[in-house]
Structure 1
Amino acid sequence: MASLAAQAAVNAFRTGNGRTPEQAMEEVHRALRGTRGAAVAIARLESDGRVLFCGVGNITATLLTATSRANLLSHPGITGHQMHRLRTHEYRLPAQGMLVMHSDGLSDRWSPADLTGLLHHPPAVIATALLRQAGTRRDDASAVIAKAAR
């Protein structure tokens, strides 16, 4: 059932017309009605360093540098079932920073020091290290790492 909800969310995101993360989340919400629902995060990295973000549910989203971690605001609720009024939040991607998003299948008790030496590697390598470091092994897990093109 989780897989069906995930497929519906991905399809709605890919085929939707939402211009902001908030609008895209509304489309995903409609597509997930009748499913078990899901926690969902949508982010858009702009070329000027802005990060536009909208999250619903138990999703961790963080702006990360080698020495700092700043969490992004996710709204309570379950996409497809119950959501409060959505809002796209705007953040600034730090120089040499990255956006890290992951599901609750990873503990959020990790720090930048846990990834020391890996931050200059490609996003897939960082995601793999994070899954290995913080995976709880009691739940499915997903991680997305996004870096600005430099």
Structure 2
Amino acid sequence: MTASVAPPTVQVRVDHHSAVHLAAASARGVAQQCGMPGALPDQAAVIASELASNLHKHARDGTLYVQPLPLGEGLEILTADRGPGIPEIERCMSDGYTTSGTLGAGLGAVSRIATVFTIRSRAGEDSDAGTLVCARLTPPGGREAAQQSIGALCLPVEGEEECGDACAVVDTGESRTATVVDGLGHGTDAAHAARTALQTFHSSPERPLPELLAAMHRALRHTRGAAVGVLRLHDRQADYCGIGNVRVVTLSGRQVDHRMGGQPGIVGWSMPSPQVRRLPLPSGATAVLHSDGVDARWAHASPLHLLRLPPPLLSAALVHGHRRSRDDATVLTAKQPQRPR
């Protein structure tokens, strides 16, 4: 069994040249907290500096996110913006390509340093323009962790440090189990409830989903309670069990296939008997689990390019484009775990 808890994401809004230094320092700090050996913290700082510098010079509404990998050892640095996009990504990635006139400067260096590098961009002046980047950096031998089809972002209310949301993902055998917890309200008490729920989740994540929620319910009785969603991905199907305003959405790459919320109630206070709902999940489909800090209307009229994003970039796009600033916001996206060949 492999498991990881996704802590609150470090967010750096790149709206001033000083944000470039802050981004580099933040990436170095997260790398050190992750126990990254040798020169890897400095390499993380270089990646963040290059990406933040691009945002400062060329992008609109650019934000950089830094956090440990959702599953496995290492960290990831993501950026999202609202344009103008990169019209010639392949050229920007070429060795020796430099320019002060486009967003692509420095991407070649970033891609060489990163263990895994992913980018999508739509150029133009319309509302769909913008660039999404994910650079994952792992210790030697960590490429498998960097290639995991999982994305997660967890952000507190604007201006606060503690996050009342939390999420985690666990691989057990051939299934993958993910949870998003939204402690009631926000701040210290909500964060305590969310952490308590995750401790219970990790104590035995392979249990049937109703049993997991029942255990969380018992553990949260002396907290303010939480909304909880638990999702288990199998081969071509997903089981969902949720209480409160944690929503699940499945995407086929062509359309939104299913969307649903949890049963009414509060885990820790007034929880009905949890019911498992089974969803078909075709090969290659993506499941999204998110708190109500992300506006659920994103799933009602999603553009095709959004539905086709890989999980890390999809999480960044949803948080950047659909986050409610007055609430904690968490998005966890995942595909089925790949079977060993």
Task: Report the TM-score when normalising by structure 2.
Answer: 0.41
* Partner Cα distance (1:127, 1:17) in 2: 23
Unaligned runs of at least 5 residues, structure 1: none
State whether residues 115 and 130 of structure 1, in contact with CA within 8 Å, keep that contact through their aligned partners in structure 2. no
Structure 1 segments, 4+ long, off by >4 Å, are none
Kindly state the Cα deviation for residue 52 of structure 1 after the two structures are TM-superposed.
1.2
Aligned to 2:286: 98
User: May I ask how many residue pairs the two structures share in their alignment?
Assistant: 148
SS at match of 1:116: helix
Structure showing greater Rg: 2
The alignment status of 1:74 with 2:257, answered yes or no, reads no
* Partner Cα distance (2:335, 2:233) in 1: 9
Kindly state the Cα deviation for residue 31 of structure 1 after the two structures are TM-superposed.
0.8
* Partner Cα distance (1:59, 1:149) in 2: 22
Kindly state the Cα deviation for residue 65 of structure 1 after the two structures are TM-superposed.
2.2
Bigger drift between 52-61 and 10-19 goes to: 10-19
The alignment status of 1:84 with 2:272, answered yes or no, reads yes
CA change 1:114–1:34 in 2 (3 A) is farther
Aligned to 2:313: 125
State whether residues 102 and 144 of structure 1, in contact with CA within 8 Å, keep that contact through their aligned partners in structure 2. yes
Aligned to 2:328: 140
Which residue of 208, 212, 237 maps to 1:24?
212
Task: Report the TM-score when normalising by structure 1.
Answer: 0.89
Tell me which amino acid in the other structure corresponds to 1:45: L
CA change 1:131–1:17 in 2 (3 A) is closer
CA change 1:71–1:33 in 2 (3 A) is same
Kindly state the Cα deviation for residue 115 of structure 1 after the two structures are TM-superposed.
6.3
* Partner Cα distance (2:283, 2:203) in 1: 32
* Partner Cα distance (1:104, 1:118) in 2: 20
* Partner Cα distance (1:82, 1:55) in 2: 13
Query: RMSD across aligned C-alpha pairs, in angstroms?
Result: 1.9
Kindly state the Cα deviation for residue 96 of structure 1 after the two structures are TM-superposed.
2.6
CA change 1:117–1:18 in 2 (3 A) is closer
Aligned to 2:247: 60
